[in-house]
């Protein structure tokens, strides 16, 4: 016997779970990364870091941070390390030093259900439970940057505990195996955080997808619901 979790999320009215994942861009992380680069003697930024709405981080916000710190746009090709790059400003893998990730992606648990051994979830039942377990339907699918290749390849965190994404990632939702963890409808699920805090990181997404950090974070920032936070 097989059972499936719906492939598409729907807006949840009232005070229930949010129907879209949220990409929170931290002004303080951007400012800290800019100050660190300034302290290393860097005074200009690569024009490419403002492309695609500043890699999904909000071009207006990013330009304001750069202006306040005193950076100017690089006019000519510079030697490596002489300009502030998007990887460093946004805290991505490959950035100089250990910059702070400026973008944090979270989803919301829409529902939790039991799954018996042998039952499958999502399109094509690509995942079948090897034992009795529980799964959560979570906001966040390939339409918001949680790309399809992440299914069965990366973890999310709920209450700082890791849980795997299982099955095929759908357009607006994905399925997470939570086992016997005390997880309920409406709780926050962390897709991307700070690897220095042992949170799910973009580096795992890069390994799973073969895409670059810039491609991944830009897709998330442009497609998820974006909020600027202090």
Measure the CA–CA gap between 50 and 83, rounded to whole angstroms: 13
CA 157 vs. chain centroid, Å, equals 12
Determine contact, residues 162/198, Cβ cutoff 8 Å. no
Residue 4: pLDDT above 50? Answer: no
Determine contact, residues 183/112, Cβ cutoff 8 Å. yes
Strand partners, 176: 136, 165
Hey, what domains does the chain have and what are their CATH numbers?
27-89 (no CATH), 102-229 (2.40.37.10)
Average pLDDT over residues 79-93: 89
Backbone angle region of 175, left / alpha / beta, with phi > 0 → left and psi within -120 to 50 → alpha: beta
Q: What's the pLDDT tens digit per position in 141-178?
A: 999 999 999 999 999 999 999 999 999 999 999 999 99
Q: Which residues contact 13 (CB under 8 A, 6 or more apart)?
A: none
Backbone φ and ψ for 114, nearest 5 degrees, come out as -75, 150
Considering the entire predicted model, what is its pTM? 0.90
Assign 78 a pLDDT band (cuts: 50, 70, 90): low
Instruction: State residue 132's pLDDT score.
Output: 97
Q: Check residue 119 and report its DSSP letter.
A: -
Residue 8: pLDDT above 50? Answer: no
Backbone angle region of 167, left / alpha / beta, with phi > 0 → left and psi within -120 to 50 → alpha: left
Could you give the residue ranges of the DSSP H alpha helices within the chain? Answer: 27-39, 51-56, 59-69, 86-89, 202-209, 213-223
Nearest-10 crossing angle of helices 27-39, 59-69: 40
Number of neighbouring beta carbons within 10 Å of residue 164: 16
Average pLDDT over residues 63-75: 96
Assign 130 a pLDDT band (cuts: 50, 70, 90): very high
């Amino acid at each position: 016997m097989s059972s499936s979790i719906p492939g598409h999320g729907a807006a949840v009215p009232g005070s229930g779970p949010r129907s879209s994942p949220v990409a929170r861009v931290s002004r303080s992380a951007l400012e800290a990364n800019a100050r660190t680069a300034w302290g290393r003697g860097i005074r200009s930024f690569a024009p490419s870091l403002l492309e695609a709405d500043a890699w999904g981080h909000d071009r207006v916000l990013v330009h304001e941070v750069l202006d306040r710190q005193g950076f100017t746009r690089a006019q000519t090709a510079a030697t490596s390390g002489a300009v502030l790059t998007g990887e460093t400003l946004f805290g991505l893998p490959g950035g100089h030093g250990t910059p702070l990730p400026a973008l944090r992606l979270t989803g919301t648990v829409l529902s939790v259900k039991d799954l018996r051994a042998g039952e499958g979830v999502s399109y094509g039942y690509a995942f079948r439970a090897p034992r009795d377990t529980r799964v959560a339907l979570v906001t966040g699918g390939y339409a918001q940057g949680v790309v399809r290749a992440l299914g069965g390849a990366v973890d999310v965190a709920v209450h700082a505990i890791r849980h795997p994404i299982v099955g095929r990632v759908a357009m607006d939702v994905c399925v997470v195996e939570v086992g016997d963890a005390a997880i309920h409808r409406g709780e926050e699920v962390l897709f991307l955080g700070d690897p220095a805090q042992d949170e799910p990181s973009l580096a795992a997404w890069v390994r799973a997808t073969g895409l670059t950090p810039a491609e991944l974070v830009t897709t998330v920032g442009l497609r998820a619901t974006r909020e600027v936070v202090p």
